[in-house]
A = this chain, B = another copy of it.
């Protein structure tokens, strides 16, 4: 069953959902076509399961880093580092992730499963809570937290894609530093020492 999820991740990432045939997945996993259907009800269900698992792993990864920190700045850094770290080790999923995290891009007829939506919401909520706490504490300037979440998400995704796609994964460290600095400046309150 994990064989199928692995094969599916690779192919969906390389060719996209619509261009990947169930037969391709089965062949890559070295099984017969019909065997997939013993484990997954349909192609969509397979894709949904893949997304849920990865999203769950991502959330878990973020939470682990996040809870070790206490200040808004610390939590923000933890979330940003967690993102870079997770996708550095899940590059194939990155390409799928940006499609599905941005609903407009989804290629599935049916959108994310409710479970996956829930996980996506919880990832974003970590960031939002952090920003709101930072605003209250005066670390960040007053702003609409939803806009900030959108800005930071989009910025981070695109930077990661840039490194993974154009730089073949090189320069992730530099990009992380840049991202941190850029975002912290963007969020910073005008008060300067």
Interface residues on A, range: 35 or more
Extra contacts, 12 of them, besides A102-B158, A150-B159 (Cβ < 8 A), are: A16-B106, A18-B18, A19-B109, A102-B105, A102-B161, A144-B174, A144-B178, A147-B159, A151-B179, A152-B155, A154-B155, A185-B188
Find chain B residues with CB under 8 A from A120 CB: none
Is residue A2 within 8 Å, beta carbon to beta carbon, of the partner chain?
A: no
In the complex, A53 has a CB within 8 A of chain B: no
Judge if A27 is at the interface, Cβ distance under 8 Å: no
User: Does A156 lie at the interface of the complex (its beta carbon under 8 Å from any beta carbon of B)?
Assistant: yes
Nearest to A16 among chain B residues (CB) is B107
Residues of A participating in the B interface, judged by any CB pair closer than 8 Å = 16, 18-19, 94-95, 98-99, 102-107, 109, 143-144, 146-148, 150-159, 161-162, 165-166, 174-175, 178-179, 181-183, 185-188, 192
Q: Are A151 and B143 in contact (CB under 8 A)?
A: no
Cross-chain contact of A159 among B103, B151, B162, B185 (Cβ < 8 A): B151
